[in-house]
Amino acid sequence: MQVDGIGGNPHRVSLNEKKCDCGKWANLQFPCSHVMKVTERMGGLARNFVSEHFTIENYATTYSGSFSSVGHEAYWPSPSFRMTSNELYRRPNRPRTTRIPNEMDCGPAVYGRACGLCRQTGHDRRQCPTRSQT
């Protein structure tokens, strides 16, 4: 383990296992700066540890085929589906959002609150089942 560079954070590099503590080598499939420093000190080449997916041969193979051009839009087939705009469903004077809601949007705090009318949890006074009875 050796401390180099500006950050001063130690990283463990294993060339045999192709691992570095920073995780970039495993995620990106090409050597991080820590691996380059180790190979430089050992007199080797970091390019020997690059994944075969990033070789010049694979790059050349990828683009060796021919590309067909896309014709004019007038000759495209009609789609078998219809897309509608969110603008139709948005209330006036509300900001536009591109965020997709998920399960994190309704946290445990919402479910833990008690209703103002019946004091039950799981809903609020606007959606209270006893509201229609009063």
Confidence band, pLDDT 50/70/90 cuts, at residue 2: very low
- Exposure string for 14-43, b = 16+ CB within 10 A, e = fewer: ebeeeebebebbeeeebbbebbbbbbeeee
Confidence band, pLDDT 50/70/90 cuts, at residue 1: very low
Of 12 and 1, more confident: 12
* Nearest partner of 18 among 43, 56, 54, 48, judged by Cα: 48
Cβ atoms of 116 and 130 within 8 Å: the answer is no
* CA–CA distance, 43 with 31 (Å, rounded to integer): 15
* CA–CA distance, 32 with 4 (Å, rounded to integer): 13
Tokens of 29: 């499939």
DSSP per position, 75-102: GSPPPSS----GGGTSPTT-----PPP-
pLDDT digits (tens, 9 = 90+) for 9-42: 788 988 888 889 888 888 888 888 888 888 888 8
Residues 6+ apart with CB under 8 A from 53: 29
Report, as an integer, the average pLDDT of 68-96.
Answer: 78
pTM over 0.75: no
pLDDT digits (tens, 9 = 90+) for 37-74: 888 888 888 878 888 888 888 989 988 988 888 889 89
